[in-house]
Amino acid sequence: MTRVYLIRHGETEGAESRRYKGHIDVPLSENGIEQIKRVAEYIMRDGDVGARRAVPLQNGNGGVDAVYSSDLSRAIKSAEIIAGPHGLKPVIVEALKERSFGVWEGMSFDEIKEKWPDAFNAWAANPLKFSPMDGESTIEVRDRVIKAFEEIINKHNGQTIAIVSHGGVIRVLLSELLGMPLENIFRIAQDYAAVNVVEMWDYPVVKLINGDAWQKQ
């Protein structure tokens, strides 16, 4: 059994404006850094998930054997915080980066709805059939993310790993692991610093979705 923590990066600067950041490199806020520090503590304890390890950690120290990250700084900083207690350095994988939102990048939801109401409503209603203008399609995101995920899993059979990425990427990945239609990705919540836990047996078992470990004291 391979155990995977899928983690959304912490809160970013300017998060209150609800903008599509996509490939824009936005740093973590001070609150985001604190969120991820608590996630790191949670992973070190390896508690509150409700599942005992079937295979001991290869490093023997508790926590994780490897940490992977998107190449955007908000994910890298989060991954560095998580990797630090284990003496690990995050492995950067470009394919784990957030979806490109094309001309919508940097715009708030309200700005997009005002300028392109029909396109925004179509995207919200069916993110498989419709895509952000000049951005990536859900299928394009799925193909690159699944390939990267499978390559990571194949390198760490029987180990415990953390993958730090983005809300859109994790929604797509969880949908695929659960066999959900990609039209329904927005039915999966992914807050800042969300923790998701997947166990890879002969098939994936999703143990936790959108866990709020960062709120635990």
**pLDDT value of position 48:** 35
Per-residue pLDDT of the chain (217 residues; tens, 9 = 90+): 999 999 999 999 988 888 999 999 999 999 999 999 999 999 988 643 333 343 444 444 457 999 999 999 999 999 999 999 999 999 999 999 999 999 999 999 999 999 999 999 999 999 999 999 999 999 999 999 999 999 999 999 999 999 999 999 999 999 999 999 999 999 999 999 999 999 999 999 999 999 997 675 5
175, burial (CB in 10 Å: exposed 0-12, middle 13-18, buried 19+): buried
Count of C-beta atoms within a 10 Å radius of residue 22: 22
pLDDT at residue number 213: 75
Q: How many CB atoms lie within 10 A of CB 182?
A: 18
In the prediction, which pLDDT does 84 show?
95
Instruction: Tell me if residue 150 is catalytic.
Output: no
Task: State yes or no: is 9 an active-site residue.
Answer: yes
List domains and CATH numbers for the chain.
Answer: 2-215 (3.40.50.1240)
Q: Choosing from 11, 98, 136, 199, which is the catalytic residue?
A: 98
Nearest CA-CA partner of 132 in 113, 154, 156, 148: 113
